[in-house]
């Protein structure tokens, strides 16, 4: 498996394929040494999901201080995430602009050296620049078909937040109270793909950007899922949209859950799916309570 650090060396080795200075809003990342015959004709290393390892490297460099200095993210049980093969990571989702997604993606890539694809609402795709950036950074529409292909055909890690937008849009008074886990679709996908579900409990995201109240009519006018007014906005003004509070991030990986069902079935028992989803939700909720019980300070953990 190629490690991320050697990409510069490969780039010079890849020879004459030089990229003409582009007028692209989102610049094309240079090729980072692909294998296979197709690479000869390519200029960038954007894969079929729109993810670019080169872009990830840049983002990792920028995000590293935020990850380790600002949030001081601390993992527990990282060894439970497999080094190869597909697995569906499931986590709680919170904070108006949730920092849990980048922290999980960055952390696993940094510690385990394997890519993580983030499954998010297709709404992201409709936002210019940001949508493209998100795709280059490893974001994929949370479509069952996409998840299946990533997990089963490609054997990748994918992270999904079953609460959806209900998680980050809830107000601070409901912090660490898990919302409904959709319709349990994530369990069904994991069953179909024959991969384990690995729950990750995240503490810290709620306090990094607490939602004070929501303004539904602005959300409607802008066509966005929710429009929160955060404590950050109140404290720092418009800058607060980009500036999370330095809450201490703690992440605990729970034991992988395997389902003893044959993969690639058209249908799975709905009651079984719902039961498993509810079990995972309860487990994650209990772990969150446990972590909160142990937490002495929001800022220092």
Partner 1 sequence: MGKRVLVTGADTFWGGRMVQALEADRDVEVIIGIGTHSPSVPFERAEFVKSDQAYSIISRIVKATQVDTVVHTFLVVDSTLVSARAMHEINVIGTMNLLAAAGATGSTVRQVVVKSSTLVYGSSEKDPNTFSEETPRSSPARTRVERSLIEAESLVRDFAEDSPSTSVAVLRFANVLGNDIITSFSKNLSRPLCPSITGFDPLLQFVEEDDVVRALEFVTMRRVSGLFNVAGDGRLPWSEVASICGTRLLPLPIWSPARAIFPLIKMGYYELPPEMVDLLRYGRGVDTHKLKDAGFTYRYSSAGAVRNFIQAIRLKRGAGRKPKSYTYEHDVEQFFRNSRSVVHDVNQ
264 — alpha (psi -120 to 50), left (phi > 0) or beta?
left
Question: Coil, helix or strand for 271?
Answer: helix
What residues numbered 28-87 form the site for partner 1, per CB under 8 A? 28, 37-38, 41-44, 46, 48-50
Distance between CA 189 and CA 119 in Å, rounded? Answer: 13
Interacting residue with partner 1 among 14, 99, 141, 205 (CB under 8 A) = 141
Residue 122 makes contact with partner 1 by CB under 8 A: yes
Smaller CB separation from partner 1, 149 or 175: 149
Residue 143 makes contact with partner 1 by CB under 8 A: yes
Residue 165 makes contact with partner 1 by CB under 8 A: no
Structure tokens given for 55: 């872009």
Binding segment (CB under 8 A) for partner 1, from list 59-67, 93-101, 137-145, 188-196: 137-145
DSSP 132-156: HHHHHTTEEE--HHHHHIIIIIS--
Q: Are 243 and 265 in contact (CB under 8 A)?
A: no
Interacting residue with partner 1 among 1, 12, 13, 24 (CB under 8 A) = 24
Distances (CA, A) of 228 to 11, 165, 206, 225: 43, 12, 13, 10
Residue 267 makes contact with partner 1 by CB under 8 A: no
Residue 176 makes contact with partner 1 by CB under 8 A: no
Residue numbers at the binding site for partner 1 (CB under 8 A): 19-20, 22-28, 37-38, 41-44, 46, 48-50, 122-123, 125-132, 140-141, 143, 145-146, 149
């Amino acid at each position: 498996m190629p490690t991320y650090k050697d990409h510069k060396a490969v780039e010079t080795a890849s020879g004459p394929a030089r990229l003409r200075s582009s007028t692209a809003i989102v610049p094309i990342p240079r090729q980072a040494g692909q294998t296979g015959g197709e690479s000869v004709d390519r200029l960038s290393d954007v894969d079929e999901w729109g993810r670019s390892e080169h872009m990830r490297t840049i983002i990792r460099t920028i995000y590293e201080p935020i990850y380790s200095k600002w949030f001081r993210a601390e993992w527990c049980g990282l060894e439970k995430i497999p080094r190869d093969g597909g697995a569906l990571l499931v986590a709680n989702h919170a904070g108006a602009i949730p920092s849990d997604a980048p922290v999980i993606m960055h952390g696993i890539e940094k510690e385990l050296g394997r890519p993580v694809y983030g499954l998010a609402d297709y709404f992201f795709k409709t936002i210019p620049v940001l949508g493209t950036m998100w795709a280059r950074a490893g974001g994929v529409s949370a479509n069952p078909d996409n998840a299946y292909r990533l997990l089963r055909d490609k054997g990748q890690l994918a992270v999904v937040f079953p609460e959806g937008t209900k998680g980050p849009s809830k107000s601070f008074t409901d912090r660490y109270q898990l919302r409904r886990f959709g319709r349990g679709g994530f369990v069904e996908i994991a069953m179909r793909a024959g991969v384990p579900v690995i729950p990750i409990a995240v503490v810290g995201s709620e306090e990094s950007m607490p939602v004070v109240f929501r303004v539904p009519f602005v959300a409607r006018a802008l066509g966005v899922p929710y429009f929160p007014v955060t404590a950050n906005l109140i404290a720092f003004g418009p800058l607060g949209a980009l500036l999370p509070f330095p809450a201490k991030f703690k992440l605990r990986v729970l034991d992988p859950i395997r389902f003893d069902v044959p993969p690639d079935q058209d249908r799975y028992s709905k009651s079984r799916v719902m039961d498993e989803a509810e079990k995972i939700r309860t487990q994650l909720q209990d772990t969150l309570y446990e972590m909160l019980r142990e937490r002495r300070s929001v800022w220092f953990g």
